[in-house]
Structure 1
Amino acid sequence: MTTSSKGLFKVSVVAVSVAAASSAFSAGFALNDHSATASGAALAGAAASTSDISFSFWNPALFTNADTTTFMASGAYIMPSMDVTLNSAEDAASAASSGALANQDISSDGVTQDSVDDTLVPSLYFAKPISDKTVAGISLNVPFGLSGDYGQDWAGRFHATETGIQDIALSFALAHRVSEKLSVGASVQLHQAEVVLESAVGTSTALAGGEGIGRIEADATGYGFSLGVLFEPVKGTRLGAGYRSEVDFDFEGDVKYTDVSSTLTAAGLVDADVTDSITFPSVLTLSVEHDLNDKVTLGLSAIRTGWGAMDGINIDFDSTQSNSVLTFGFEDQWMYSAGVNYVYSDKLTLRTGVAMDNSPVTDEYRSARTPDGDRKWISVGATYDFNDMTSASFAFTHVMIEDVTVNRDGSLTEDGARGTLNADYESSANVFSASVSMAF
């Protein structure tokens, strides 16, 4: 094994990234289903709706939607599909060596796999008026998340085998009606994030030390805030804006290796503590709702996610291993949606909407952990009022995701220990949402 190959082994864990992953529902790895009511109209009017308190996720001023003590639980069951067609893949030794190891192809052309898991995303809201004009609110959400597993035997295993990300946010908010036309709100948030990241390390050939599995598990606590305003310049027309701040995380955890040879251990692949700092993006939501008449309400939203804050990772190992660096290359992106609500009867409201959700991933840095493409949503939903105190909402969203190709051809330094990968991705998702709201 050459000295350069040993160096490649030392940075093999660059294949696992703290946050570079793709959920099949929302662009990047954001999760946008925090309200079955909002999802029914594809988030149209999300920062300007007077429907219920779940819209406070996008605009904390909307806790003023509660006239009395209110509890609301919402959940979304995300059923993604991701078919991966392997065109070619080479391990690090094949890509970096000559002679006997040159062009050693470890792929199977045409192999397809379903590599993402069904996921349940819960949301909880509680609002209590503390005066005629002020409402206190508490909410629990999962703003970012992912669960996916390629398996340890697929040809791209040196780029990724398993990725799991979960960010749980507990928010404490105050919302105040300044006047009949203006409401404002703010919250502070406690975030708890966990990550599981796994990939193969080494090479597929025993001559160069063979391969094993490297697995990182880490967690971190972060803090954020949100601000919001709702303005109704004329009766029936509402303008809303909400901002959720960036959240800084200092991840701490460990890397553990299994099935590694003594050659790889000597090269530095030993269990160790790991640390890394990363910033989850801010979210700005701008919305408008307009009541055409007593039955029909139109909504529009533009949601900007500041993905550019996530420029990459720099994993620090508490061992002889060199830091591992991975570039994300994310770009700030917008999601646009339009929808309509129709009051069918005193008890039943119907809604529908469409959305375009642009991916932050660029072609240059798209990887097995970020096989992300632009999305289109088609949503339908309904709310049924059982009485003045209790209602239930339902929604269905079909997400169409642009077909993309991951082409890691070895030109990036960070792929030196992972080799090359060329794969085509076809993805989509169906999302079923439901919520119950109870006033006391």
Structure 2
Amino acid sequence: MMMRDWAVRAAGVLVLPVVAGAAGEAQAGGFGLREQSAYYQGTSFAGNAAGGEGLGSMFWNPAAISFAPGLSVEGNVTYIAPHAAVDVYSATAPLTGASLGNLGVSDIVDNGTLPTTYISYAWDKWAVGLAVTSPFGLVTDAPCNWSGRYYGCYNKIFDMNVQASAAYRVNEWLTLGGGLNVNYIDAKLTNAQFAGLATPANNLYAQLDGDDLGIGFNLGVLFTLAPGTTLGVGYRSYIDQRLAGTLNLSVAGLTTVNQMNVNAGLTLPDQVTASFRSQIAPQWTVLGTVEWTNWSTVQELVVTTRGIPVSTLDLKWNDGWYFSGGVEYQWDPRLALRAGIAYELSPVPDETRSPRLPDTNRLWLSGGLTYNFTPQFAMDFAYSHIFGETSPMGLYPTDPANALRGSLVAEVNDGYVDIVSVGLRYKFNAPTAAALITK
């Protein structure tokens, strides 16, 4: 009885729709964040759009909320510890071409914490769900005296998304879902600013701050191909964000010499996730996912004041792809074990990779478990290690966007990420009547 009372109180805390903290290096290509669920992290997010006990499936496919009958809540906290070094081979100052040395950065990405919250209620043929997540995020941190200072120092993107969704069971094998996303994004980008022909260690310090609220939608379909076998496809729409804020120029980040109101347009990418989940034996389930992210919407970031461009970041990103496979083993009625592997193709091309976002292709290895304390209360745990590829960085003033940034020839190496995630799930008096979709 004490366990039940404690579990109810814990679940009550978990439903608070609060997202705090910021992740370090983005873990879904570009500046996306994939770590929305401890349950699915255990399989490297294989099967994440095909339903399952984890409520986080609604993030990728709103039709999947039909998996949990009655009222359910889930809260996850993920700690992300990335590492990436930038070795500088050569760097030159704008206009003069003077050497800036080869001072690199031993670790350019910061650690961060990512919480998520999910609530769902399913009855008869209907299900509704609410998710509070952070689909995007970034923290890169370089001292503003390093050789690549004109291309970036400290950069941070904070994002929070509220998703409201509904699902309807059309028949025994088809469930449809859809909903609305409200997304808030706040960005800070800093770099040294060239101020003349002389090249001191840091002429000026430029800081861009901006935020915006945007609206998008989500759609999904879930097919029950056979008992224990589901196929899910989910779509998250692009979101146009019009960041409004200030551009501040200062000496050493202390004495302001100029400040102006600025705007910058950014289109957050749409995404399609396709997953399958199949129970091939009483204790074994196999899972897989293919995901496409339309990062080619991010071609450049133009900062304007009164409609006049004052700064441009030339990005020219490609589409992102993610492939994962995993297995789940039901050890006993209380304990389920998971493992997964994935490979991700970065959308960032070699020719525009920058210290603001030194993203590379990566390999995922994950393991996790679920332990059911009671039929209603469960804990999910997962650990992932990501191996980042060594990739070049070559930025030159021949690109008009870099005319006042000089050149930077470098390499991103020693990239890896350790991720630990814990989730708690609670079902409030789940009804014994048939759920919309059963395993």
Q: Who is 1:286 aligned against?
A: 274
Q: Who is 1:105 aligned against?
A: 99
* C-alpha RMSD of matched pairs (Å): 2.2
Counterpart-to-counterpart distance in 2, 1:176 and 1:318 = 47
8 Å Cα contact 1:146-1:165 kept in structure 2: yes
**Aligned-partner residue type, residue 73 of structure 2:** F
**TM-score normalized by the length of structure 1:** 0.88
Matched ranges for 1:135-146 at <5 A: 135-146=127-138
Choose the corresponding residue for 2:67, options 65, 68, 86.
Answer: 65
Q: Who is 1:256 aligned against?
A: 248
Q: Who is 1:42 aligned against?
A: 44
**Aligned-partner residue type, residue 310 of structure 2:** N
Q: Which moved more, 1:340-349 or 1:251-260?
A: 251-260
Return the offset for 1:411.
Answer: 2.2
Counterpart-to-counterpart distance in 2, 1:137 and 1:207 = 56
Counterpart-to-counterpart distance in 2, 1:365 and 1:438 = 45
Choose the corresponding residue for 1:313, options 285, 301, 304.
Answer: 301
- The Cα offsets for residues 156-204 of structure 1, whole Å up to 9 and x where unpaired, read as 1110001100221101111122222221111101100000010000158
**Aligned-partner residue type, residue 68 of structure 2:** A
Q: Who is 1:433 aligned against?
A: 421
Choose the corresponding residue for 1:379, options 366, 369, 372.
Answer: 366
Counterpart-to-counterpart distance in 2, 1:210 and 1:401 = 31
8 Å Cα contact 1:22-1:370 kept in structure 2: no
Alpha carbons of 1:195 and 1:93: their partners in 2 closer, same or farther (altered >3 Å)? Answer: same
Q: Who is 2:326 aligned against?
A: 339
Q: Who is 1:179 aligned against?
A: 171
- The Cα offsets for residues 110-158 of structure 1, whole Å up to 9 and x where unpaired, read as x4421111011111001123x3121111110100100111021111111
Counterpart-to-counterpart distance in 2, 1:423 and 1:207 = 20
Counterpart-to-counterpart distance in 1, 2:92 and 2:273 = 43
3-state DSSP of counterpart to 1:115: coil
Counterpart-to-counterpart distance in 1, 2:114 and 2:167 = 25
Matched ranges for 1:287-306 at <5 A: 287-306=275-294
Matched ranges for 1:164-203 at <5 A: 164-202=156-194
Return the offset for 1:207.
Answer: 7.2
Choose the corresponding residue for 1:116, options 89, 105, 109.
Answer: 109
Counterpart-to-counterpart distance in 1, 2:120 and 2:252 = 53
8 Å Cα contact 2:212-2:241 kept in structure 1: yes
Return the offset for 1:338.
Answer: 0.3
Can you give the 5+ residue segments of structure 1 that lack an aligned partner in the other structure? 1-20, 96-103
Return the offset for 1:373.
Answer: 1.0
- The Cα offsets for residues 226-276 of structure 1, whole Å up to 9 and x where unpaired, read as 011110122222111000000000110001111189xxx9xxx72100001
3-state DSSP of counterpart to 1:63: helix
Counterpart-to-counterpart distance in 2, 1:331 and 1:210 = 33
Counterpart-to-counterpart distance in 2, 1:208 and 1:349 = 59
Q: Who is 1:225 aligned against?
A: 217
3-state DSSP of counterpart to 1:69: strand
Choose the corresponding residue for 1:405, options 379, 382, 392.
Answer: 392
Alpha carbons of 1:308 and 1:66: their partners in 2 closer, same or farther (altered >3 Å)? Answer: same
3-state DSSP of counterpart to 1:143: coil
Counterpart-to-counterpart distance in 2, 1:210 and 1:399 = 35
Q: Which moved more, 1:21-30 or 1:270-279?
A: 21-30
**Aligned-partner residue type, residue 29 of structure 2:** A
Return the offset for 1:370.
Answer: 3.0
3-state DSSP of counterpart to 1:94: coil
Alpha carbons of 1:78 and 1:208: their partners in 2 closer, same or farther (altered >3 Å)? Answer: closer
Return the offset for 1:23.
Answer: 2.5
Return the offset for 1:318.
Answer: 4.1
8 Å Cα contact 2:156-2:187 kept in structure 1: yes
Q: Who is 1:8 aligned against?
A: none
Return the offset for 1:307.
Answer: 0.4
Alpha carbons of 1:204 and 1:119: their partners in 2 closer, same or farther (altered >3 Å)? Answer: farther
Matched ranges for 1:417-432 at <5 A: 417-426=404-413, 427-432=415-420
Return the offset for 1:52.
Answer: 2.4
8 Å Cα contact 1:22-1:372 kept in structure 2: no
Can you give the 5+ residue segments of structure 2 that lack an aligned partner in the other structure? 1-22, 429-439
3-state DSSP of counterpart to 2:150: coil
Q: How many residues align?
A: 404
Residue 260 of structure 2 corresponds to residue 272 of structure 1? yes
Return the offset for 1:205.
Answer: 6.1
3-state DSSP of counterpart to 2:96: helix
Residue 246 of structure 2 corresponds to residue 244 of structure 1? no
**Aligned-partner residue type, residue 77 of structure 1:** Y
Q: Who is 1:216 aligned against?
A: 208
Q: Which moved more, 1:70-79 or 1:269-278?
A: 269-278
- The Cα offsets for residues 384-435 of structure 1, whole Å up to 9 and x where unpaired, read as 0111110000000001111111111322111111101111111110000110
Counterpart-to-counterpart distance in 2, 1:142 and 1:222 = 14
**TM-score normalized by the length of structure 2:** 0.88
Return the offset for 1:25.
Answer: 2.4
Counterpart-to-counterpart distance in 2, 1:373 and 1:207 = 31
